[in-house]
Copies of this chain bind each other. A is one copy, B any other.
């Protein structure tokens, strides 16, 4: 019989996620968001020095992976509690929750920074959600959303903390481990952590040979610093074009999960993110938002690490303001 101490020690090694629950979550997600393209992109490879596969999460009605999670949230809400929800969002979660809520008759409120990309805010409005803007950043939107939830007594959806958002993202992991041939590393944009902990959980369980590498901008390093120091580290501000991952206050429970499933967390420069966006445009024909170029940026900054290996990069979102995009990738004035 195992000792209580040993049992406790094993329990500590488990994330909040559970693969059976992730498989159940998958069945709640509209198929339009599942089984997304996963393909080698050889045109990128001379520039990156390694084999590169793309997992494309932008070819769907909300142009990001976030609806995998909001489909689970909304499915579980229907017939099971309040029909009103509020979330804070950098833009993509709000759009996804608005999409998932609209088709189920939920009353969706999204709180976002007024500095979020207009393209994201416009889509949230177009999907019939109530949009409230705060005169601050994403973490201020989080505070405001929580206040609304308390005041109105409605469901607060907290990205990365709410297990549904992690389970939804984790369904990407299920699709990766089914892929052949196997790959050596997966590069995951790191923001709140749902994407990294979700995919990481599945990979560590089912494809432990694959290295799980989180990538964050140098200008928004809170979660990466937290992972390296094994405790929550906050920052006072962020300074990055990668609006989708620009958080200052990591969530402790998410960091705990990330410590169990990530093999590394690296920071990349803005110039590398832009170079990654340009490479994805010119060599893969993909318009991506900055957060979705973090994986390519990580390879560009450390070619030796990846030389000769096969990496998968999750192209997690494609919602950009056209003007900003054109400015970043240097199309004007060419």
Contact = CB atoms under 8 A, between A and B. Distances in A.
B35 A39 contact: no
B39 A59 contact: yes
B35 A35 contact: yes
29 contacts: A32-B37, A32-B38, A35-B35, A36-B37, A37-B37, A37-B60, A39-B59, A39-B60, A39-B61, A42-B61, A42-B126, A42-B127, A43-B123, A43-B126, A54-B59, A56-B59, A59-B59, A63-B285, A285-B287, A285-B288, A285-B318, A285-B320, A286-B287, A287-B287, A323-B334, A331-B332, A331-B334, A332-B333, A333-B333
Contacts of A282: 322
A118 interface: no
A171 interface: no
Given A37-B59, A43-B123, A126-B42, A326 B322 contact: no
A120 to B, nearest CB: 11
Given A32-B38, A332-B333, A333-B333, 8 more contacts: A37-B37, A42-B61, A282-B322, A285-B288, A285-B320, A323-B334, A331-B332, A331-B334
A281 interface: yes
Nearest to A318: B285
A39 B59 CA distance: 8
Interface of A: 32, 35-43, 54, 56, 58-61, 63, 123, 126-127, 281-282, 285-288, 318-320, 322-323, 326, 331-334
Nearest to A287: B285
A285 B319 CA distance: 8
A276 to B, nearest CB: 16
Contacts of A63: 285
A37 B35 CA distance: 9
Contacts of A39: 32, 59-61
Contacts of A127: 42
Contact of A326 (B59, B320, B334): B334
Contacts of A42: 61, 126-127
Q: Among A38, A60, A127, A318, which residue has the most Cβ atoms of chain B within 10 A?
A: A60
Contacts of A54: 59
Nearest to A319: B285
Contacts of A38: 32
Contact of A331 (B40, B43, B285, B326): B326
Contact of A40 (B40, B61, B334): B61
A283 to B, nearest CB: 9
Contact of A334 (B36, B43, B332): B332
Nearest to A59: B37
Contacts of A59: 37, 39, 54, 56, 59
A282 B325 CA distance: 10
Nearest to A123: B43
Contacts of A285: 58, 63, 287-288, 318-320
Contacts of A332: 331-334
Contacts of A287: 281, 285-287
Contacts of A318: 285
